[in-house]
Amino acid sequence: MEAIPDVKIDDGRFKYVLIRVHDKNSDDSKLIVRGSAKCSYHMDIYELAQKEIERDDRFDLEPQGGGRILHNAKEKRIEVFGYSVDLGQAKHTDTCDILKKHFAEYPPDNIIWTNEGY
């Protein structure tokens, strides 16, 4: 489970998916964030994560919803907002908690969320 990165996102504005990874051999699970400017749909992002992670038969993935991210690496700022028509809205507070841990060098007040917008 530790080998699976908690976060894989691009710079810029893009869709993202919050995903729960389950270890089939134990009760372990964790949330991960995946986002890509190259993907037009939330399901495309989820399917990329499936290909990446489920090739190891120990793991199952379960989408927890989606939204959008505006990531400005130069300014060390991330905004999480919106929802996925297909997957529903992710719990943006969970997403921000994961991002704050991953981007520890960013000021905590620069990683924010809102339920506004699409």
Encode pLDDT of 2-55 as tens digits. 899 999 999 999 999 999 999 999 989 999 999 999 999 999 999 999 999 988
Predicted TM-score of the model (pTM): 0.95
Sheet containing strand 12-23, edge to edge, reads 7-8, 29-36, 12-23, 59-72, 77-81, 111-113
- Asked if residue 86 belongs to a domain, the reply is yes
d(Cα 7, Cα 18) in Å, to the nearest integer?
10
15 marked among binding-site residues: yes
Q: What is the CATH number of the domain that holds 95?
A: 3.50.20.20
- Asked if residue 1 belongs to a domain, the reply is no
- Asked if residue 16 belongs to a domain, the reply is yes
Counted domains in the chain: 1
Per-residue pLDDT at 118: 66
The residue range of the domain holding 51 is 7-113
Q: Is residue 102 flagged as an active site residue?
A: no
Q: In this predicted model, what pLDDT tens digit does every residue of 102-116 receive, in sequence order?
A: 999 999 999 999 987
Catalytic choice (22, 42, 71, 102): 42
